[in-house]
Amino acid sequence: MKLLKPVTFILMICLAPPPSITMASDSVVLIQDDRLTLDVKNQALSTILAISSVLKSVDYALIWRKDKASTTSEPRLWEIRIFYKGQESRIRPLQQSANLNVVKKGVDAYHVKDILLIRLAPDMTEAALAALLDRLGATIIDAYTPLGIVRLRLPHGSDVPAIAETITNTPGIQDAEPDYAHPLKGGSPVRLDPSSPPPPPSRSPSTGTTPVAVMDSGLLSDYTSSPYVQAAYDAVSPGAEVSDGLGHGTQMALIAAGAVNPLGAGPDTPAGSPVVAIRAFDDNGFTSNYTLIRGIDFAVEKGVRVLSLSWGSETPSPLLESAIRYAAAKGLILVAAAGNAPTGNPVYPAAYDSVIGVGALAPNGDPWDQSNFGDFVSVTAPGVADLPVGYQGDPGTYAGTSIATAYTARRVAAILNQNPDADRETILRILVEGN
């Protein structure tokens, strides 16, 4: 079946602090600050959607647009603007939540509350999908058409893992899983010298032509106008201004761009690269599989050739792996952190076949004692750097496979500058020979 991209729906509302509005017939509308709450009981859907029967005491405007992605010429409802009489100039879009609603299920297992991801088989019909939605009480809130992945919202308080297991073998469903969440810890840098003074401001890098997408915790506003920042995108809250509440993403962007060099990098350090900063981790340090898929999709759309993933999790995901394979098939070279715990256990996405796993070296060239190891670690790189931005703390000297990953991404970009047609195997051979 063909999936249509959901239309963006924006609710705009006046921010004046009016009193609450109570309607008759069991319908209650409450407007407080920038939130509108509608409590409806035993009302027909047509009555709710009519708007006028609900919002009698306020003015509203319906904005209709034609969806360019649709095969029909029918306009669709795009925005509902709600405001008090004479105050239309004071409306603004309601802001989406900047953080994911993550719940814990078991030991070190997290997922986004009430969200289920399913991957549809090509033979799934619209009628069968509608029947499944009705059985689950679910609604479609997003879809990633290239891979047939659909994001569903389940009823409040649903046992998402149990539901995913129940429907896995349903005809027309290839995969079903919670929207697994991952904490930013797999490759996060460790501060080595809490008492040292902050390093000097980062130098201006000599940028190449091949951009590196850094999919991490975002980018601080102080750096968004830097000449080496080519673009920025918030995959947690699409449409929002990119920020960085943790500092980790900014650290990695500086290294990928060449604004900061790791200690022990040597005289053959490659020039920096333009950076595409993608915020995939929220301010609580969590990302989710669908958030990562959004970020990968943005990198593909921007024509990025290198994707730097300075984090990892020991929880594999078939859906995320399918998105990783899709990105690799589109020509992206993906590099990911092997992890900062020397367990020998595989860490994902570094352990996926289409990804280059990166371990860390100390400034003297020896393996860093906290770097992970294993067959999935393809290369090693300098993993200690003096950083003008802290990770959940002050600037200073940090160590981690995340630093090694961002630096390796820069090296990959330098290889592609010289040989744009180089494939993963060629690049990996050059990286290994250069170690």
Which residue's entry shows tokens 């060099």? 261
- Would you say residue 278 has pLDDT above 80? yes
Quickly name the fold that domain 102-182 has.
Alpha-Beta Plaits (3.30.70)
The token duo for 24 is 């008759």
Is-contact 270 411, C-beta < 8 A?
yes
Which residue's entry shows tokens 């409306």? 91
Which residue's entry shows tokens 């469903």? 173
Query: Which percentage of the chain shows pLDDT scores above 70?
Result: 77
Phi, psi of 62 (to 5 degrees): -100, 125
- Beta-carbon neighbour count of residue 268 at 10 Å? 8
Query: Which percentage of the chain shows pLDDT scores above 90?
Result: 55
The token duo for 408 is 């390796």
Instruction: List, for residues 304-358, the tens digit of each pLDDT value.
Output: 999 999 998 888 888 889 889 999 999 999 999 999 999 999 999 999 999 999 9
Between 52 and 193, the more confident residue is 193
3-state secondary structure of 36: strand
Domains 102-182 and 190-434 share a fold: no
- Would you say residue 294 has pLDDT above 70? yes
pTM over 0.85: no
What was the pLDDT predicted at 11?
A: 40
Which residue's entry shows tokens 């995969």? 175
* Domain range annotation of the chain: 10-93, 102-182, 190-434
Max Cα distance, the chain (Å) = 76
Give the whole-angstrom CA distance, residue 390 versus residue 29: 45
397 residue type, one letter: T
What sign has the CA pseudo-torsion 295, 297, 298, 303?
Answer: positive
The token duo for 343 is 């367990």
Please, which pLDDT band fits residue 14 given cuts at 50, 70 and 90? Answer: very low
> How far does CA 312 lie from the centroid of its chain?
13
Which element (helix H / strand E) includes 325? helix 318-329
339 residue type, one letter: G
Beta-bridge partners for 385:
398
What sign has the CA pseudo-torsion 126, 128, 132, 134?
Answer: positive
- Would you say residue 34 has pLDDT above 50? no
The token duo for 327 is 């990105």
> How far does CA 44 lie from the centroid of its chain?
37
Which residue's entry shows tokens 């506003």? 221
Is-contact 388 199, C-beta < 8 A?
yes
Residue in 266, 251, 186 with CA at minimum distance from that of residue 220 = 251
Architecture of domain 190-434: 3-Layer(aba) Sandwich (3.40)
Mean pLDDT value across residues 170-187: 88
Between 191 and 389, the more confident residue is 389
To the nearest 10°, report the CA torsion of 48, 54, 59, 61: 0
